[in-house]
């Protein structure tokens, strides 16, 4: 199989959107906005574009107006090197946005040049098993564990019902929940998501409880999803990994670096 070019990978990154099922959506010529009322951290503007530097303040005023109209109190703006103008990060900071995080775009080719399967060499950790979520009880636990690991508020009843509705629809449509839990006996200790779009397996939302880190749990979550993605026809595993945490782990196991994505945020009111 021919390796994916950086341009192909960036196109896959630009097409990647994630928002809770209860989010409110607005698309304009300048951004693609998903607002989750009550959670600025789950309110994202993707693909922010302006014709030139002078248009940026107007675009950001429109963005704030749309966020507030849809019930949000802040927003995170994702920037990739394909967004314009190139000076956008500096312009966002000038307009009161602050840098929130930087992630690395990493890729694993699931087949080699001879079209043979290839998987990252993460050894299975003793006493840990990873499996795809199959029941509503496990799926509710997945979201509770997400809140614990990432320090987020527990999902509201409305949000949880939206998640469960989406879970039922995914199971009905594909037979897969696309959510994974790592277990130590009967205790869930880590998690990760997978979204299969065409030939791309998007890995997201990976995390491990602090007391189980550095024990191979994260690597086991990565390898299990690679196995399943390969079986379902994916050609690459695509990850936006945090600089300094999961990024170095993945690169040490052969994931290729394509570039970085930066996130800026603004909060306006409670």
Which among 38, 37, 63 is positioned nearest to 50, based on CA atoms? Answer: 63
Q: Hey, is 112 helix, strand or coil? A: coil
Q: What is the pLDDT of residue 160?
A: 82
Instruction: Specify the range with the lowest mean pLDDT, choosing from 30-44, 59-73, 232-246.
Output: 30-44
Q: How confident is the model at residue 141 (pLDDT cuts 50, 70, 90)?
A: very high
pTM of the shown model:
0.90
The mean pLDDT value of the chain amounts to 93
Q: By percentage, how much of the chain surpasses pLDDT 70?
A: 98
CATH 3.40.630 describes domain 6-102+262-267: yes
CATH annotation of 111-234: 3.40.630.30
Q: How confident is the model at residue 40 (pLDDT cuts 50, 70, 90)?
A: low
Q: Average of pLDDT values for 56-68? A: 96
Top pLDDT among 118 and 20 is at: 118
| Phi and psi angles of residue 129, each rounded to the nearest 5 degrees, phi first | -125, 150
In the predicted model, is pLDDT for residue 170 greater than 70? yes
Q: In Å, what is the CA distance from 81 to each residue of 7, 78, 159, 161, 207? A: 11, 10, 33, 36, 26
Q: What is the pLDDT of residue 37?
A: 76
Tokens of 235: 């050609």
Contact 238, 80 (CB under 8 A): no
Q: In Å, what is the CA distance from 48 to each residue of 5, 58, 203? A: 23, 12, 23
Domain chopping of the chain, boundaries: 6-102+262-267, 111-234
Top pLDDT among 83 and 202 is at: 202
Q: How confident is the model at residue 270 (pLDDT cuts 50, 70, 90)?
A: low
In the predicted model, is pLDDT for residue 184 greater than 80? yes
């Amino acid at each position: 199989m021919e390796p994916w070019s950086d341009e192909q990978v960036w196109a896959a990154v630009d097409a990647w959107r994630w928002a809770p099922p209860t989010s409110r959506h607005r698309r304009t010529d300048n951004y693609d906005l998903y607002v989750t009322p009550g959670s600025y951290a789950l309110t994202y503007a993707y693909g922010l574009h302006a014709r030139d530097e002078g248009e940026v303040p107007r675009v950001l005023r429109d963005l704030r107006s749309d966020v507030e109209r849809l019930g949000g109190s802040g927003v995170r703006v994702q920037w990739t090197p394909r967004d314009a103008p190139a000076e956008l990060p500096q312009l966002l900071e000038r307009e009161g946005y602050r840098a929130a995080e930087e992630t690395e775009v990493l890729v694993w080719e699931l087949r080699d040049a001879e079209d043979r399967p290839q998987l990252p060499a993460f050894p299975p950790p003793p006493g840990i098993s990873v499996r795809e979520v199959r029941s509503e009880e496990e799926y509710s636990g997945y979201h509770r564990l997400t809140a614990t690991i990432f320090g987020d508020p527990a999902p509201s009843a409305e949000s949880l019902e939206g998640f469960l509705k989406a879970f039922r629809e995914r199971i009905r449509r594909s037979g897969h929940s696309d959510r994974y839990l790592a277990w130590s006996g009967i205790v869930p200790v880590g998690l990760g998501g997978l979204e299969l779009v065409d030939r791309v397996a998007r890995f997201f939302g990976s995390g491990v409880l602090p007391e189980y880190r550095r024990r191979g749990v994260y690597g086991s979550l990565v390898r299990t999803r690679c196995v399943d993605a390969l079986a379902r026809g994916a050609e690459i595993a695509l990850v936006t990994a945090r600089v300094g945490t999961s990024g170095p782990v993945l690169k040490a196991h052969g994931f290729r670096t394509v570039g970085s994505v930066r996130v800026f945020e603004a909060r306006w009111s409670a």
